[in-house]
Structure 1
Amino acid sequence: MESALISKLKIATTHEEGVEPIIDICNELGVAYYQGSLDDVLGRFYQAALPENPDWVVRLTSDCPLIDPAMIDKVVRAAIEHDVDYASNTLNPSYPDGIDVEVFKFSALEKAFKEATLTSEREHVTPYIWKNSDVKGGHIFKALNVENAEDLSLIRLTVDTIEDFEVIEKLVQIEGTDKDWLTYVDTLNNHPEIKEINQKYRRNEGYDKSIDLEK
């Protein structure tokens, strides 16, 4: 892990069929992992972190394959320096979708685990925290949004659809996997035919679907 501020990497996965390659990679690389609930992702995430007893937890999702270690450290530093319960660059998105970093105190995660009841709050780990944060008008958690100077939130560097995968595949063929996030953005802007491939999708469709099912 190239982040200077993450002390341990741990994979939170499931017991469902098809996760065997993930476990094999973890064992090969010596990365810790936890296998938990498929549907209660908040519970799985909490149980994965619990044995480590950390002060802070950094959440990185598997649909962000081009995550930038410098961005990770930027959000971690912001959380620590401002002593908030939760910090991210997604509360009011201005970075590309796929450069997502969430940092929160373990105490906030534990409170969410014990108190979150809605399906959308269990399936997506952090909604209970950020919905009840002062940034969103709540009173339980102190939060901070890390913003970019330019709004690039409509750019997709995520892998939620087959079109997203096609875009990432083309970017990796051109730039490799070790560039900073701005390089990938510049490459997309210089290749509008690639950028256009996945532009029909909107951000956070998975969470929106969970909300719709609750209505």
Structure 2
Amino acid sequence: MKKAVIIQARMSSSRFPAKMMSVLAGVPLVRFVYERCLNSKEADIVAVATSNDPSDDKLYEYCRAEGIPVFRGSLDNVLERYVRAAEFYGADVVCRVCGDSPFADPALSDNMFNILDAEGVDYAAPVSGTYIAGLDSEVIRVSTLNMALRHAADSYELEHVTPYIKKNAGIFKIKLIDVNLRPNELSGLVLTVDYPGDLDICSRIAALLGQGYNFTSHDIFDALLYNKAILKMNRGL
């Protein structure tokens, strides 16, 4: 079973245009997320899936120049983009990571890869409310994505990839995991880059963690609890 971590990324965010090329810890955000995901011990490949819209030309060319595997597909039908990217890389299972999540937890991804393998489920994700936003990901069989693509009916399901799967638990084998990645003191924390101010906060967190990309979510929690001034800047707290 070939496993891929696929990072969805685009430049046309309405809240923070061109954020994937904005700098975090000395590198473009897309590079930071990619390097972070390379810490997965289960993934056979980590790749970026962007769109074939001209707005994403710069992102695509950067990935190509830097040796980051990159696939181009539909701008709005992200579900189809994932299916085609998975087919391109020959993957049987994909972990979906959003490009605005520089601290996505690779240990969580690996745990879900293993659950799919061991328990024969079609889809695995953390239980809502048990993780800080931005640490999460979800793992899906490509055959399940293909079925969703054939039957998903509206633009929301196509844009957000997995809603059709999640609302059809009678069709798909779904496993939701209590992941314990939301300390009470940080319960409102947001670790996604949706606005320019989020990038500043994530940059400060990365500086606290030091150079490199191999750290745990609990390292992030510890750093923030010892440097509470940063918490006051976070829009979720």
Cα deviation code 1:36-84 (max 9, x no counterpart): 2211111111111123342211111101112232222122112222211
C-alpha deviation, 1:150, in angstroms: 6.1
Percent identical residues? 31
Distance in 2 of aligned mates of 1:3 and 1:200: 28
Map of 2:6 onto structure 1: none
Distance in 2 of aligned mates of 1:185 and 1:21: 34
Distance in 2 of aligned mates of 1:189 and 1:28: 38
Size of the aligned set, in residue pairs, is 195
Matched, 1:141 2:172: yes
In structure 2, what residue type is equivalent to 1:156?
A: V
Matched, 1:190 2:221: no
| Unpaired runs of at least 5, structure 1 | 134-138, 202-215
Verify the 8 A CA contact 2:133 2:189 in the aligned structure 1: yes
SS of residue paired to 1:19 = helix
The one of 34, 45, 63 aligned to 2:71: 34
Distance in 2 of aligned mates of 1:18 and 1:34: 15
Verify the 8 A CA contact 2:189 2:236 in the aligned structure 1: no
In structure 2, what residue type is equivalent to 1:162?
A: P
Distance in 2 of aligned mates of 1:151 and 1:184: 11
The one of 40, 56, 63 aligned to 2:93: 56
Map of 1:109 onto structure 2: 145
Change (3 A) 1:66 1:24: same
The one of 77, 102, 111 aligned to 1:65: 102
Matched, 1:16 2:53: yes
> Normalising to structure 1: TM-score of the pair?
0.81
Cα deviation code 1:89-133 (max 9, x no counterpart): 2x4231111111211111110011111012210111111111212
Verify the 8 A CA contact 1:75 1:101 in the aligned structure 2: no
Distance in 2 of aligned mates of 1:140 and 1:184: 37
SS of residue paired to 2:98 = coil
Moved more, 113-122 or 20-29: 20-29
Map of 2:205 onto structure 1: 171
Could you list the runs of 4 or more consecutive aligned residues of structure 1 that deviate by over 4 angstroms after TM superposition?
none
C-alpha deviation, 1:147, in angstroms: 1.4
SS of residue paired to 1:59 = strand
Map of 1:162 onto structure 2: 196
Change (3 A) 1:162 1:36: same
Distance in 2 of aligned mates of 1:20 and 1:65: 21
| Unpaired runs of at least 5, structure 2 | 1-37
Map of 1:136 onto structure 2: none
- RMSD between superposed Cα atoms in Å: 2.0
In structure 2, what residue type is equivalent to 1:191?
A: N
Change (3 A) 1:72 1:162: same
Please identify which structure carries the higher strand content: 2
Distance in 1 of aligned mates of 2:142 and 2:156: 20
Distance in 2 of aligned mates of 1:150 and 1:13: 28
